[in-house]
Structure 1
């Protein structure tokens, strides 16, 4: 019985250590690009807390009414930005 309890404790400790290691690596990788790749016209909405979250930023409005919008999503420190052009309705 004692061996089983020690074995379970070792497995739990190993899983906790792996989680801490993975979380630390995710935090380091997640800090690579938390800023939008565009020059935003105003503050970006959203937040990244402990490697989770996201935000959205809009770039300057062009003469034709279009603008660049960038959104981000982060889960466990992994994620990034996606930018696309938004055109005015016709």
Structure 2
């Protein structure tokens, strides 16, 4: 069972993210530590990429099939990707 609920985790990360602008203004990197979560960023890699599993490949993107009706319609596809390392 996780220590935090999904909402508690989200609230913790949002709070930590909000502290970045307060405590790291003008700096190249920062690490915000909270009791239940933390955020770290810097220009250099701090992750050992040799131990990271590769991401699965994305499925191919096919162009839309031609429309057979005469009405004009527009469709927008948005893809959002978020990564959380715990």
Q: Place the TM-score, normalised by the shorter chain, in its bin.
A: under 0.3
TM-score, reference length from structure 2: 0.27
Structure holding more helix per residue: 1
Structure holding more strand per residue: 1
